[in-house]
Amino acid sequence: VFPRAYGVSVNFTLGNCMESEGIVPLNSSIFNAKMANHTIDIYFFTMSPPSRAALLLMRALGLKHNIKIVNVLAGEQMNPEFIKVSINPLHTIPVINDGGFILHAIMKYLVDQYAKDDSLFPRDPKKSAIVIQRLFFVSGYLFPRFVAYHDKLNETFSMMDNYVQGQTWFAGNHRIPSEWRHLLLV
């Protein structure tokens, strides 16, 4: 459900656009074939960039995975069931459970544990530091910049709410192509 966008509630099933079975190695040079029978649970939210990044890495490494959707819009990360399985005091996603090892800091662990070589995360300290620096750039600089535009986005959502006042869709009572663009963007 998008609580502000369009001023109406749109119900959808999270994860309905994702295949959740099989191995999808993106690069055979990093795929470790001996891990083909190993399965990792990932607690995942579809609209979360860190969740999608962790899933992309799992697929690049060819790791079998069980996707467990945690709807943060509904506050499911605060449910006692999630807290019990995730052992994550931050109540954040993604979280993996790799044979009982539960972790929120996923990317480096997966590469260190399962990559065929160090091409994704070099062992050389200087090269490794650059990779870590780029990872922190996303979480410490890029993402906060998105958050800084929160007020401007709320103003834009209010404008969108005005467009749909008294009607079901953005341009009346029937869908138009821009509905999908708006929905995917918001």
Q: What are phi and psi of 95, to 5 degrees?
A: -140, 140
CA distance linking residue 114 with residue 98, whole number of Å: 11
Cβ-Cβ contacts under 8 Å for 73 (sequence gap 6 or more): 1, 3, 47
**Catalytic site includes residue 48:** yes
Kindly write down the DSSP assignment for every residue of 40-71, as one continuous string: EEEEE-TT-HHHHHHHHHHHHTT-EEEEEE--
Catalytic residue among 28, 48, 119, 158: 48
Alpha-carbon distance of 127 to 121, in angstroms, equals 8
Catalytic residues: 48
